[in-house]
Structures are given as structure tokens and as C-alpha cells.
Amino acid sequence: MIVGVPKEIKVREYRVGMTPGGVKKLVDRGHKVLVETKAGIGSGLSDDEYHAAGAEIVKDIQTIYGRADMVVKVKEPIEPEYDLIRENQIIYTYLHLAADETLTHKLLERKCIAIAYETIQLPDGSLPLLKPMSEVAGRMATQVGANTLEKENGGKGLLLGGVPGVRQGRVVVLGGGVVGLNATKMAVGLGAQVSVLDVNLSTLNYLDDIFHGRVQTVYSDSESIRRYVAEADLLIGAVLIAGAKAPNLVNREMLRSMEDGSVLVDVAVDQGGCIETTKPTTHDDPTFVVDGVVHYCVANMPGAVAHTSTFALTNTTIAYAAMLADLGAEAAARKDRALALGFNAYKGKITCLAVAEAFSLECSDLGQLLGK
């Protein structure tokens, strides 16, 4: 199969769909990989590295879409890419179609095979291709929170780890899933005093076990949230209810109970946020202040650490990319149920229920389309 890796053209997107290691894996299996020149530059990866891994470097995005059987990306295709997509071409990337009606119709019109990273789902319900970005965002949440607590950045001028004789910072993490666990690891590493609130007792058990009592685990309800939020120097929003808007757990009154110069990082902002005053911000202008509390609510946090994110992403996407390249889309979907769930559109038909429901479209059964 010919696999194409274009340079991302969405504004301020520095990640790329494949590392040189990923290229080598496909080339070693007998596939041809085209990489657009400078595709990896934002992630610190040069054309020479891709070439050494066996890629053919091509000069423009038209050549990638024109020659590739499968295009591997990070972000959803945007307007200049729409008409480059060819019939039967596999588009393998984050798509978030339920939030983008125009793109949904375009992909149907182009009769491509659109496979979304975010809906590939393992039998236990987990979303393996979302996990690496949650790991990155969770770790970043503590890092940007610590930084924002500095006086120059609007914070109260507090060092999270304290020093001997001076109290540590109090970090409160709402939600102990992937983001929450990673934020907690970093906060513990910095020497902060950390509390994690979750409604899932197994999650609290797990956190209690792995942190050997170093972290306070708390069952999450409105009273415990009220109590812990009031004391937080750094509050991290990391809740998720799969497929739903994030629940609003911290209201304005609770926010007012926080000290001036405290910081909140609402990582769940991409699902609407779990704090009443959250609104999405960008890396250009990441923070704003409400009631004396500095809010950091960037919806695409991993974009800021493109090098790490590109590697973390390829580590998880490459196995499915290899399966698609080896077997073709149809046989790969028949073989792997998790991958089949990633098929959002197949040759002009919607095959993902959530996307169909979002725009009142008909949902076709992929199994039937493939003649199972």
C-alpha cells in the first residue's frame, strides 16, 4: 500500500501523523511511505530522518493525497484538503465528526473511508488512541499550573513543593482517570500535597495503592468538592462522562471561596469543562481571571509539546496503520473489532451511530456493507 503523511495545515498544529520509526515499520513490511517535505519540522523531525527511515519525501500535499491509498494525519482535514480526498482513500486521523457537520458531508461526498482515532474502542470500553493525549495533557496540567502560580504569571506566588519550613502547595484533582492520574504523578513528584476526587471507588482504590498513602483520595460529591476546592492552590479539572458533556462540578460560589491568585486548569474544557466559569482558550492567550482565580483552559494542550505528543501518538496509531496497510481496510475491519469501531464513514455512508445521530443521518451497519 502507498501511505501518505502530509504536513498539518491547521493553524498552530505542530504535530505530525507519523514518526520516522513509524515510517520504518511500514517500509519494513513492504509498504511505500510518502512524507510531505517539512511535515515533521514542528515536532523536531527533519526530512533527512524520514528519508533515512525509508520514506520518499514529496514536495506538496497534492502529491500526498494524489498518490496515497491511505493518508495518516493528526487533525481532521480542513477546507483546502477537502477536494484532495479521493474515492476509496483511507483517511486515518482524529476526526471528531459529531462536532463538524461540514466535514461529515464532505467525507460522504468524497466517498472515502474515514477512520477516526477517537472512536477506536477496545472491548473494555477504553479508547486507546485518546489515551496518549490524556497522558500528555494530565502531565502538562500540573506543569502549567505550577508555572501559573508564579507571581509574574498572575498567580499567588507559591512554589508547589514549598521548602523546608514553608508549607507545600495544595493540588486538588477532580477525576482520577488518565488525565487525573498523570496530573497527580507530576504533582507528587513536585512535592505538593495532593487530593484526588472521583466517583469511581475502584479508581480511588487504585490511586491509594500506587501512591502508598502519599495522595489523599476522596469520594466526589458536592460537599467534598466544596470543601476541597476552597483549600486548593491549584485545581485541576479532569472528569469525563463518556460521550457526554462534562458535568459542572464547581459553581461560581465555590470559585469565590478560593484564595486570590489560586489557579485552575480545566483539562475537560474540550467537553465543555467541569467548572462553571470555564471557557476555551488558546496557546496564544491561555489564561483569564475570574473572581481572582487564574483560569487556564486550553482545549488542545498537547499541541504545545508537539515532539512528545507526536511520538506518543504514533506509538499507539502505528499498529492499526500497519494492520490497515497489510490487509486493506475491509479485511482489517473484519479482523479487529476495535478498529472497526473507528470507521466513521465508508464510501459515502455513515457507519458511526454517534455521528449519524448528531446530524439526523442514516447509520449503515459496517458489517453489512463489508458483506459479513
Q: In this complex, which beta carbon is closest to ligand NAD, that of residue 69 or of residue 198?
A: 198
Selected binder of ligand NAD within 195, 220, 277, 287 (CB under 6 A): 220
| Contact indicator for 359, 352 with CB cutoff of 8 Å | no
| Contact indicator for 273, 247 with CB cutoff of 8 Å | no
User: Measuring CA to CA, how many Å separate 254 from each of 156, 221, 228, 292?
Assistant: 18, 13, 10, 13
User: Measuring CA to CA, how many Å separate 317 from each of 15, 120, 152, 369?
Assistant: 14, 10, 39, 24
Q: In this complex, which beta carbon is closest to ligand NAD, that of residue 128 or of residue 348?
A: 128
Q: Considering 31, 51, 96, 295, which one is annotated as catalytic?
A: 96
Contact set for ligand NAD, span 13-72 (CB under 6 A): none
Q: Does residue 268 sit in helix, strand or coil?
A: helix
Closest CA to 234 of 141, 341, 302, 318: 141
Asked whether position 305 contacts ligand NAD by CB under 6 A, the answer is no
| Contact indicator for 325, 5 with CB cutoff of 8 Å | no
Contact set for ligand NAD, span 118-137 (CB under 6 A): 133-134, 137
Selected binder of ligand NAD within 3, 85, 107, 246 (CB under 6 A): 246
| Contact indicator for 341, 120 with CB cutoff of 8 Å | yes
Selected binder of ligand NAD within 204, 249, 294, 350 (CB under 6 A): 249
Query: Count of residues binding ligand NAD (CB under 6 A)?
Result: 32
Binding mask 139-178 for ligand NAD (x = CB under 6 A): -----------------------------------xxxxx
Contact stretch for ligand NAD (CB under 6 A) within 30-38, 53-61, 208-216, 261-269: 261-269
Cβ count within 10 A of residue 161 = 15
Give the interface with ligand NAD as residue ranges (CB under 6 A).
Answer: 133-134, 137, 174-180, 197-200, 203, 220, 238-241, 246-247, 249, 267-271, 299-302
So which residues are the catalytic ones?
96
